[in-house]
Structure 1
Amino acid sequence: MWTGIEIDLALNCKVGAFKDSIFNGISINSKKICKGDLFIPIKGARFDGHNFVYEALKNGAYAALAERPYSKKLENVKKKLIFVDDTYKSLVKLAIFSRKRAKNSIIISITGSSGKTTLKEWLKEVLSNYYNTYANLGNLNNQIGVPLTLANMPLNTNVSVLEVGMNQPGEIARLTKIIKPNIAIITNIGSAHIGNFKTKKDIASEKSQIFKFLTKNDTAIIPKDDEYFKILKKQASKKSGNIFSFGKDKDSEFKIISYQKQQYPVFLINRNKIIVEFQCPDKKWEYNIAVILGVAQLLNLKLSQVAKKVLSLRPLKGRGMLNELTFNKTKFTLIDESYNSNPKSLEDSLNFLSQKQFVKRRKIIVIGDMLELGNRSKIFHQSVIPYLERLKPFSVITVGIFSKVIHDKLNKKISSFHFNSYENVYNKLIELISNHDLIMIKGSNSIELDKVCAELKKKKN
């Protein structure tokens, strides 16, 4: 919620008749506007939000920002406009103002090459049992999504969990300057978006910019098992006096010890032993749980109680949910990883299939293109082949342009098929599936393999 006076103070502009007004929220989407919102028209590569000001006002916006050159074009609704020099910069100013007025809130920021959305959602879910907790909606983690999220942060927020993404150098530093987190977390360093960087080391350096605006009293949490741990720690040490690591390494402060006979993970959180009776279908999730327990301890929560809250956590849509399905009396398991893919997350997913519980299961693997890998795309797609050949699945289906190299060079003893797009994948799967098969579907979101998963899920028991 915003008052007209706060808008005036944040933007240093003339709000005129809106000085005594109250705005319910900030929106950049004219179709999803809520009654009483302030609409901010953002100019992008494909669309200019100023073209949707009329629609936003018609759909319930109380007022809209507009850049001054548009005054004639929007003459008919001039009384509903607040003029500024730059609408995007105004959104950022509102985010900065919102962060300042939340000076008593704890702000947690998360970045990494994979796993950050799941960690963000899980942290929010667990901490919501103790605090008024707020987080980015969906994947609003970019140069527009993060300021928009902060601008809409409720006044009664105790803890905010903000995911920070990047595509280009400099993006994390710009967003972190706005967020000014109290706790900054890096999940891991992989090759996602490497098409815009020279090396993984450059990605590690960019991710470590999440520590740039920490103070000595703030906290950094970093992955001890990561090959770039030393780089991350060096960067964190420049700002923070409180650095904690997580992982299986013996020196981790938030340590994953082992699994007992019941397959329950055991954690040592700063020497406090915690057993979480949580069946992790994917062992990489234990890293997220280690971080959640570590953050809980930093917030002085009782770990034995938090461990019970963890039991309700489930995979996010398209990020590893196991689905038990039936088609024509044929029972099979679908692992839906269709939301996204990059070299590290694909490697993790294939390693997951090699676990003891799946050894005797016949496997069909659908691999869609991994995008934003630049001129090394072919190399990264080829690097999947050794994992597949060790796994020895019954069949591999590749989808897209870049993944064709997997189909072409895969050992011919493994049945494989290639499609340029997702449309024919479903029919091929139905043709191949036998009783008790294990099907994994993974690819970048724009390959649209989620549509294949949706069709298969219609066969649910």
Structure 2
Amino acid sequence: MPLWTAADIAAVTGGTASGDFTVDGVAFDSREVGPRDLFVALTGEATDGHRFLDQAFAQGAGGALVGGDCAGSHVRVADTFAALEDLGRAARARTGAKIIGVTGSVGKTSAKEALFAALDRGIPGAVHRSVKSYNNHTGVPLSLARMPAATRVGVFEMGMNHPGELAHLTTLVRPHIAIVTAIAPAHTAFFPDESAIADAKGEIFAGLEPGGTAIVPYDSPHRDRLIAAARPFASRIVTFGLDRAADVHPTETMRLKTGATFVTARIGARELSFTMAQPGMHWVSNALAVLAAVDAAGADLGLAGLALAEMGGLTGRGARAMVSVAGGDALVIDESYNANPASMRATLAVLAQEPGRHIAVLGEMRELGEKSDAYHADLAEPILAARVETALLVGEAMAPLAAALEGRVDFVHVADAASALARLKPMLSPGDAVLIKGSNGVGLARVVAGLAGGAK
């Protein structure tokens, strides 16, 4: 069956179809349009999607959602963004799937991908999830609009950087299960304190369907605040964390030589032993949240454990590669997608466990507001604890960290990713372990790509 017909699109958006057509996908980025996709021509501050209609059809688009003239197959509407939301609502309304929403300051994309892997292991091909980090006001309705009617479980990531954003997104997703992975300093330029961030993340619970489950991080200092936010909407509240008082917690953890962690977890009255393939206790915490959701969804915990054991690293979020350097190989840990103080500390702790010389390529953390200098300077101690021998600091906001490291660790402070790559390449030696992490806007993915020619 097609994902959408022209008649369906016109009916749910109030638009007018140029004729009969069907589509099997939806995209609003013309670069991502594939055969038989619906191209949604969004109009934004920077550009107008209508400029790329010819390109979309040249790439095989089956139709377009437009607000103006279009020579190809299309549905014309008054407002393409509102129509995209309408399409998302309609996709949500027509499915009988169990819907899971995921948010948090850190770990939401990783948890979403791990949850998809855990559920897909039991019902392959029947689980839908948002791709990449499509978690904002356009990404969430797009992800919903892409969901086939026959989906049995849908997993949707929701993000925010201002109060009220999640309150709207959760009304589109209407989850049966809602997860908050963690609360940490992120987007603090837009919030007075961490409690306000917790309140904004807690908005996800307001969209819970009747009988829904809220999953809350027990170890968070904002646990009680999140529980209070969930209580009016959730029929059941489940906590997860490393503390044994959490509903879902580890009774045993053991780091393996591979960097993976063997975990025995208590999930309510049951126990599950599994291996978390990705290194670090932050991944153990993610896994506990995933198991709580799998259990709440009534899915197979044993198969979920197998999926977590096989889960590879995500590009920009822990993917690992051995790259060729003069005389041998070096390990590159790609955490280039994003960064905040909590995730920086977590990944530096992972680096600390690796053998060999430790090199950290750290990009500035953005949207931290008036406390930015302090947050950057405070990374000095985790860097020392990780036994970093050389730090490459990227971006103007790293100046306070450079001052804090003076005389304590060898470091180089550069302006941009290109300069970082130029300084990094000649210093690499066999056996090195290199962590690359920073806010996405710094562009450290280009450093990873620049080393990838020697990847094995």
Q: TM-score, normalised by structure 2?
A: 0.91
Residues 118 and 315, structure 1, Cα contact 8 Å, conserved in 2 = no
- Aligned counterparts, 1:246-265, within 5 A: 246-260=240-254, 264-265=262-263
Alpha-carbon separation, structure 2, partners of 1:301 and 1:53: 42
Report deviation, 1:241.
1.1
Deviations 1:208-253 (A, max 9, x none): 1110121340111111001111111100111001111110122211
| Counterpart residue identity of residue 320, structure 2 | L
Alpha-carbon separation, structure 1, partners of 2:106 and 2:255: 29
Hey, what does 2:112 align to over in structure 1?
120
Alpha-carbon separation, structure 1, partners of 2:10 and 2:449: 47
Matched, 1:396 2:405: no
Report deviation, 1:452.
1.9
- Partner SS for 1:34: coil
Matched, 1:312 2:314: no
Hey, what does 2:235 align to over in structure 1?
241
TM superposition outliers: structure 1 runs of 4+ over 4 Å: 260-263
- Aligned counterparts, 1:127-276, within 5 A: 127-131=119-123, 132-260=126-254, 264-276=262-274
Report deviation, 1:380.
1.3
- Aligned counterparts, 1:28-177, within 5 A: 28-67=28-67, 70=68, 74=69, 77=71, 80-102=73-95, 104-131=96-123, 132-177=126-171
Residues 394 and 414, structure 2, Cα contact 8 Å, conserved in 1 = yes
Matched, 1:451 2:446: yes
Hey, what does 1:10 align to over in structure 2?
12
- Partner SS for 2:388: coil
- Quick one: percent identity of the two aligned structures? 30
Larger Rg: 1
Residues 399 and 419, structure 1, Cα contact 8 Å, conserved in 2 = yes
Residues 397 and 407, structure 1, Cα contact 8 Å, conserved in 2 = no
Alpha-carbon separation, structure 1, partners of 2:333 and 2:21: 50
RMSD: 2.2
- Aligned counterparts, 1:408-423, within 5 A: 408-423=403-418
Between 280-289 and 132-141, the greater mean CA deviation after superposition: 280-289
Deviations 1:66-109 (A, max 9, x none): 33xx4xxx3x73x844332211011101111111001x101111
Alpha-carbon separation, structure 1, partners of 2:9 and 2:402: 56
Report deviation, 1:330.
4.1
| Counterpart residue identity of residue 79, structure 2 | D
Evaluate the alpha carbon distance shift between residue 413 and residue 179 of structure 1 in structure 2; reply closer, same or farther with a 3 A threshold.
closer
Report deviation, 1:279.
4.7
Hey, what does 1:384 align to over in structure 2?
379
| Counterpart residue identity of residue 127, structure 1 | L
| Counterpart residue identity of residue 400, structure 2 | V
Evaluate the alpha carbon distance shift between residue 408 and residue 259 of structure 1 in structure 2; reply closer, same or farther with a 3 A threshold.
same
Alpha-carbon separation, structure 2, partners of 1:185 and 1:178: 16
Unaligned runs of 5+ in 2: none
- Partner SS for 1:277: strand
Report deviation, 1:265.
1.3
Evaluate the alpha carbon distance shift between residue 89 and residue 352 of structure 1 in structure 2; reply closer, same or farther with a 3 A threshold.
same
- Corresponding residue to 2:336 among 330, 335, 338: 338
